[in-house]
A and B are shown apart, each in its own frame.
Chain A
Amino acid sequence: MIDRDTVEHVARLARLALTEEERERFAEQLGRILEYADRLSALPLDDVPPTSHALPMTNVLRDDAVAPSLPRDEVLAQAPARRDGFFVVPRVFDEG
């Protein structure tokens, strides 16, 4: 079980709005999943290196060559809101 404040904190980080019911359900379900995951703490892992990539590949790079960009109409056609060639988003807090 993880507490509902933790659930709310994580939901904030993940930019998810939760209902009270969801907070409760996630607290219970995440708690059970994490309890299950705690089995891993029983394994002797101190000297084991972590794996972040399935295969041992390195140094895949591209040349610094310019390739065509997308037509702007096509890019903006998908936007929920657009104006004068820009995407429009809810007002970002003006730092000035």
Chain B
Amino acid sequence: MPETPFETARGLVAAYRAQRTRPSEAVEAALAQVERHEPRVRAFLHLDAERARTEAAAWDRRYAAGEDTPPLAGVPVALKDNLCTRGAPTTCGSRILEGWRPPYDATVVARLRTAGAILLGKTNLDEFAMGSSTENSAFGPTRNPWDLSRVPGGSSGGSAAAVAAGFVPLALGSDTGGSIRLPAGFCGVVGLKPTYGRVSRYGLVAFASSLDQIGPLARDVEDCALLLDAIAGPDPLDTTSARVPPPQARAALGAAPRGLRVGVVTDAFGAGVAPGVAAAIREALRTLEGLGLAIEEVALPTLEAALPAYYLLAPAEASANLARYDGMRYGLRAAGADLVDTYRQTRRRGFGPEVKRRIMLGTYALSAGYYDAYYLRAQKVRTLVARDFERAFARADVVVMPVAPTPAFAIGERAADPLQMYLADVFTIPVNLAGLPGLALPCGFDGGLPVGLQLIGRPFDEATLLRVGHAYQQATDWHRRRPPVA
């Protein structure tokens, strides 16, 4: 019997193949874990236990018959609720999409089905992925399994918490400004934001299209690589998905990273970074050095400008992406005196305050007379951020920063002050602006809360990030720690 519910995905598959356990047992273990802890964690918005059991039973038979099975056959996986699932609720954490059931599957969802995954349910998120704490969900916040008074990070907080709490070994999130890496860091799990274009966005409900990217969350780097391999690769339905060969990330993990150069972003250790976070990162760097990697210093002079640029660009794109929620074709429709009033009342009732704030901000940044001062200027900063990274990658193979300046903050602590909240993403946002891959993995604790290490790579070089991360996890056991709630 494997140590469910904290078995890895690859451990489960190996156990199924060796007939040491069955998918049905794993699913029951997962559901039991959910039943025990979900009332306090609140990671899920929808669970489909019945379907999971049916699918598990089908995989049971195929494993029992010794059939060839796809790589994730019978593995429970959770999906952030901004990924379209045919015929199943997809709310984006918003009242405006309550009850909506897409008539199609997102490409990643279709790929997971093909890979044999059992889609256990949809996880909570900040409404339309706008937030850093999962407090902006219209259906209530998710809590951090390490400390229920704290946020799990966001916006993929439900997915990170579900993995941390032992509900599922794998989950998908989406990352526009740090929404996979921040919750991974806060919840002590592994999260990868792939290179922009690595994973198809088809069926990911858009927040900011030029920044959004779907990625895996897992308990360790190897499982993370396994899930990436299942979802990555070009998709004719997404013209921004890159025509590059799939990463074969898991196969790349074997090669020792000895001799690679690690660039430490010196600007990322200034004011605002909690001493405990800085200490954990420095310790991680010593570990990497001990593994034979060379530590260099690199500079990202535009780091500080990235945050304000992001908070113009992402809302601008969002203001257009969210225009379609108007009560005409699907979702909520509020009564109004006439057409325009129906639009305005529907959107007033359907959207929460953070979504409205960003729609307002983005509309303003694009409106006549302000485009050049805000939107265009922010696009230029985006160019500078990308150039910064290019220079850094001339000196280093991997760039290192903390995931966030602090560990998980308390629920409600930053809710009243949007700017304070936005600062949580200061180290993750530049990576989205430059379209690069970023890996978050646990590297220690500060006051009993996980600290996340962020490794950033060259475009489409997820393999190097995962290699370094895997070697680090061979040498450390932060990823094996369990939250007290579980």
Task: Tally A residues with Cβ within 8 Å of B.
Answer: 50
**Cα of A3 to Cα of B382 in the assembled complex, Å:** 29
A66, CB-defined interface residue at 8 Å? no
Of the residues A14, A22, A43, A60, contact of B363 by C-beta under 8 Å = A14
Q: A75-B103, A78-B330 are in contact. Are A62 and B339 (CB under 8 A)?
A: no
Say whether A17 contacts B345, CB under 8 Å. Answer: yes
Interface size in chain B (residues, C-beta < 8 A):
71
* Total A-B contacts with CB atoms under 8 angstroms apart: 162
- Nearest B residue to A71 via CB reads B103
Contact of B377 among A32, A41, A80 (CB under 8 A): A41
A81/B333 contact (C-beta < 8 A), A10-B363, A36-B419, A40-B309 known: yes
Known: A40-B381, A51-B386, A57-B197. A70 touches B103 (CB 8 A): yes
Give A89 to B100 CA distance when docked, in angstroms: 18
Binary B-proximity of A51-75 (CB < 8 A = 1, otherwise 0): 1111101001110000000100011
Contact A45 B418 (CB under 8 A): no
Residue of A with least CB distance to B340: A15
Contact B311 A22 (CB under 8 A): no
- The reply on B327 being an interface residue by CB < 8 A is yes
Q: Is B299 in the interface zone, CB < 8 Å from A? A: no
Per-position 1/0 for B295-321, Cβ under 8 A of A: 000000010110011011000000100
State the main secondary structure of chain B at its contact with A: helix
Using Cβ atoms and an 8 Å threshold, which residues of chain B touch A91? 338-339
| Chain A CB within 8 A of B379 CB | yes
A85 to B34, CA, bound (A): 43
Question: Contacting B360 at CB < 8 Å: which of A14, A41, A70?
Answer: A14
Q: List, in ascending order, chain A residues with CB within 8 A of B344's CB.
A: 11, 15-17
B149: CB under 8 A from chain A? no
CB-contacts of B315-351 with A (<8 A)? 319, 323, 326-333, 336, 338-345, 347-348, 351
Contact between B356 and A55 (Cβ–Cβ < 8 Å)?
no
Q: Are B360 and A30 in contact (CB under 8 A)?
A: yes
User: Do A79 and B329 contact each other (CB < 8 Å), given the known contacts A15-B347, A37-B311?
Assistant: yes
B1 adjacent to chain A (CB < 8 Å): no
CB-CB under 8 A for A14 and B327, given A51-B379, A53-B210, A54-B434: no
- Contact check: which of B323, B340, B380, B418 meets A29 at CB < 8 Å? B418
Can you list 23 A-B contacts with CB-CB less than 8 angstroms, sorted by A residue number? A10-B364, A14-B323, A16-B347, A17-B341, A18-B348, A26-B360, A29-B357, A33-B418, A34-B364, A37-B309, A37-B312, A41-B373, A49-B380, A50-B379, A50-B383, A51-B380, A51-B433, A52-B210, A55-B195, A60-B239, A62-B236, A78-B330, A80-B327
